[in-house]
Amino acid sequence: MDINVRTGDIVRQRTKAIVVNLFEGVKKPSGATAAVDRALGGAISQLIAEGEIKGKYGELTLIHTLGRLPSPRVLVVGLGKEPEFRLDRVRDLTASALRYLRRLGASSVASIVHGAGVGGMEPRQCAQAMAEGAVMGLYRFLRHKKPDEEQREIEQLTLVEVDRKKTPALRQGVATGRILAEAANRARDMANEPANLFTPSVMAEQAQAIAAEVGLECEVLEREQMQELGMGALLSVAQGSAQPPKLIVLRYRADRRSASGGLGLLGKGITFDSGGISIKPAAGMEAMKGDMSGGAAVIAAMWAIGRLKPPINVTAVVPATENMPSGSATRPGDVVRAMSGKTIEIINTDAEGRLILADAIAYARQQGLSPIIDVATLTGAMVVALGKVATGCVANDQELCQKVIAAGQAAGEKFWQFPLFEEYKELIKSNVADVKNVGAPGQAGALTAAQFLAEFVEDTPWVHLDMAGTDDTDKEKGVWVKGATGIPTRTLVNLVLSLAEERRTARRRAPAPSERRRRGPRRRRRGA
């Protein structure tokens, strides 16, 4: 789909549909909606007077123009109550309005920018939200379906703005929004793909392709290298599978003066979680093809970072493997040695995410990555706690956690923090090893899992995101469509952009000592 910005009058657009809006309770439309109303001989006002159009949030009213306008259709979108209007609504309304128009077969749509007019919000942000809503809301996963004759697409979306001064900001917003949403859709594509077609090797190949596309370094560690590094935890999960494991590393280096790999984004890459010998019940097991959603989000975020080019270093680490039962699989009671040197008693082979992440964390620390953010569909307990509404987070660095939550808010992705109490350590003590991979049944399962990771993170600043409930959805709502959500791809990208921005302003205020030294001679040279 093509998205462009045009200065002009919405009434005059020659597209298959035009979109205007109305706040709840407004009796007399204003701005662009009023102009369309006039062109329609007062049809909108009349429908308001009759009580058909109320402006309620999500209300969609289609009006056929029958030759009174160049466009055959007008869609009036209800914005809801003005004080409740937020960017989330711009994103979600754009998504549902465009899905509706796609069903009607409108191949081209012109829309005013929701929020930027009467709403009084920043035009750039509104345009970004609209681009995100359009690209994410129209997402479909059709790779394995027979092409449908009736399958229609919106080929062109035009954002129309009367005020010429706003167009550069609107164009910027559209460009950023597209990248964020396309990244989320890439994560969705990976997570929606069935496990027979999306093995650890395929995941590694896709990471390599993404790296080549946007100029990242990609390194894929094979089983032998994992053995050399002593990644006994990751290897213990992989040993039951016929598919070779891969440790995918993507490096984005903006600051080559810094030796550090910078921020570490770690993602769980279990391409299928059968549970292993502690096998899962059959009902719903197919959803475990999405147990690599954390890894997918991290890889997709790196694609967006490679395109947006923020001035900080970011490195992604994705341990990818299947978790399968077989004659060579790990047994409950087995003890393995992780890369960090800690020994782990494996009580339940279905608690495999924390095992592969333990070695990914050790590897990230060895690479000097800091801070570390890990993203994983880690525990059913988190789904019990938050449902499919929010992603749980746990952190040893409060400031960083707050930044993740704020980055999520900007993306319309909800996060909720849980505590990391000292006492959880007791629950994962083993009689035979340094630590065991599960806590006590029915007791804070999501947090003993986080505590297990904390044992490997040690003093590195860290935020853990448990997205077991938010990786997929069975409802169509706003930007979300059935299947993988692409969460938390946009949050991660927003976070990287805000960390980069923070560093830029901090540098402007007080240059680091090393930098002052660098600046010194340059200034003298200029004077000479």
Nearest residue to the partner ligand BES, using Cβ: 380
Binding segment for ligand BES (CB under 6 A), chosen from 103-111, 128-136, 374-382, 491-499, is: 374-382
Binding segment for ligand BES (CB under 6 A), chosen from 36-44, 235-243, 349-357, 474-482, is: 349-357
**CB–CB of 220/247 below 8 Å?**
yes
Binding segment for ligand BES (CB under 6 A), chosen from 203-211, 230-238, 380-388, 390-398, is: 380-388
* Cis previous bond, 488, omega within 30: yes
Binding segment for ligand BES (CB under 6 A), chosen from 160-168, 371-379, 473-481, 502-510, is: 371-379
Which of the residues 276 through 315 are near ligand BES (CB under 6 A)? 291
**CB–CB of 369/464 below 8 Å?**
no
Strand (E) or helix (H) holding 393: strand 391-395
Q: Which is nearer to ligand BES, 159 or 324 (CB)?
A: 324
Residues in Cβ contact with 437 at an 8 Å cutoff, skipping those fewer than 6 apart: 344, 345, 346, 347, 348, 351, 354, 355, 428, 452
**CB–CB of 10/112 below 8 Å?**
yes
Give yes or no for residue 273 binding Zn ion (CB under 5 A).
yes
Two tokens, residue 6: 């045009």
Q: How far apart are CA 496 and CA 314, in angstroms?
A: 8
Q: Which is nearer to ligand BES, 260 or 348 (CB)?
A: 348
Q: Which is nearer to ligand BES, 108 or 323 (CB)?
A: 323
We find the least distance from the C-beta atom of residue 421 to ligand BES, in angstroms, to be 18
Residue among 153, 113, 119 at smallest CA distance from 137: 153
Among 377, 396, 451, 494, binds ligand BES (CB under 6 A): 377
Site size toward ligand BES, by CB under 6 A: 16
Two tokens, residue 377: 């569909």
Residues in Cβ contact with 427 at an 8 Å cutoff, skipping those fewer than 6 apart: 439, 440, 443, 444, 448, 451
Two tokens, residue 133: 């809503």
Among 92, 161, 291, 359, binds Zn ion (CB under 5 A): 291
**CB–CB of 374/266 below 8 Å?**
yes
Give yes or no for residue 391 binding ligand BES (CB under 6 A).
no
Q: Which 8-state DSSP code applies to residue 40?
A: T
Among 267, 353, 469, 488, binds Zn ion (CB under 5 A): 353
Question: Could you tell me how far CA 74 lies from the centroid of its own chain?
Answer: 32
Q: Which is nearer to Zn ion, 269 or 353 (CB)?
A: 353
End-to-end CA distance of the chain: 55
The burial of 160, by beta-carbon neighbours within 10 Å (0-12 exposed, 13-18 middle, 19 or more buried), is given as: buried
We find the least distance from the C-beta atom of residue 407 to ligand BES, in angstroms, to be 23
Give yes or no for residue 271 binding ligand BES (CB under 6 A).
no
Give yes or no for residue 332 binding ligand BES (CB under 6 A).
no
Among 200, 353, 478, 486, binds ligand BES (CB under 6 A): 353
Neighbours of 375 (CB within 10 A): 32
Q: How far apart are CA 517 and CA 520, in angstroms?
A: 5
We find the least distance from the C-beta atom of residue 309 to Zn ion, in angstroms, to be 33
Q: Which is nearer to ligand BES, 177 or 319 (CB)?
A: 319
- Residue identified by tokens 């007077």 is 49
For residue 18, which phi and psi values (nearest 5 degrees)?
-120, 150
Give yes or no for residue 359 binding Zn ion (CB under 5 A).
no
We find the least distance from the C-beta atom of residue 382 to ligand BES, in angstroms, to be 8
Give yes or no for residue 380 binding ligand BES (CB under 6 A).
yes
Binding segment for ligand BES (CB under 6 A), chosen from 208-216, 344-352, 366-374, 511-519, is: 344-352
Q: Which is nearer to Zn ion, 326 or 514 (CB)?
A: 326
Residue among 102, 43, 111 at smallest CA distance from 71: 111
Which listed option, ligand BES, Zn ion, none, makes contact with residue 392 (CB within 5 to 8 Å by class)?
A: none
We find the least distance from the C-beta atom of residue 88 to ligand BES, in angstroms, to be 24
Q: Which residues are catalytic?
A: 280, 354
Binding segment for ligand BES (CB under 6 A), chosen from 43-51, 378-386, 401-409, 479-487, is: 378-386
Q: How far apart are CA 110 and CA 123, in angstroms?
A: 16
We find the least distance from the C-beta atom of residue 203 to ligand BES, in angstroms, to be 16
**CB–CB of 437/236 below 8 Å?**
no
**DSSP character string of 176-209:** HHHHHHHHHHHHHHHHHS-TTTS-HHHHHHHHHH
We find the least distance from the C-beta atom of residue 350 to Zn ion, in angstroms, to be 4
We find the least distance from the C-beta atom of residue 286 to ligand BES, in angstroms, to be 12
Contact footprint for Zn ion (CB under 5 A): 270, 273, 291, 350, 352-353
User: What is the binding site for ligand BES (CB under 6 A)?
Assistant: 273, 291, 348, 350-353, 377-381, 383, 438, 445, 468
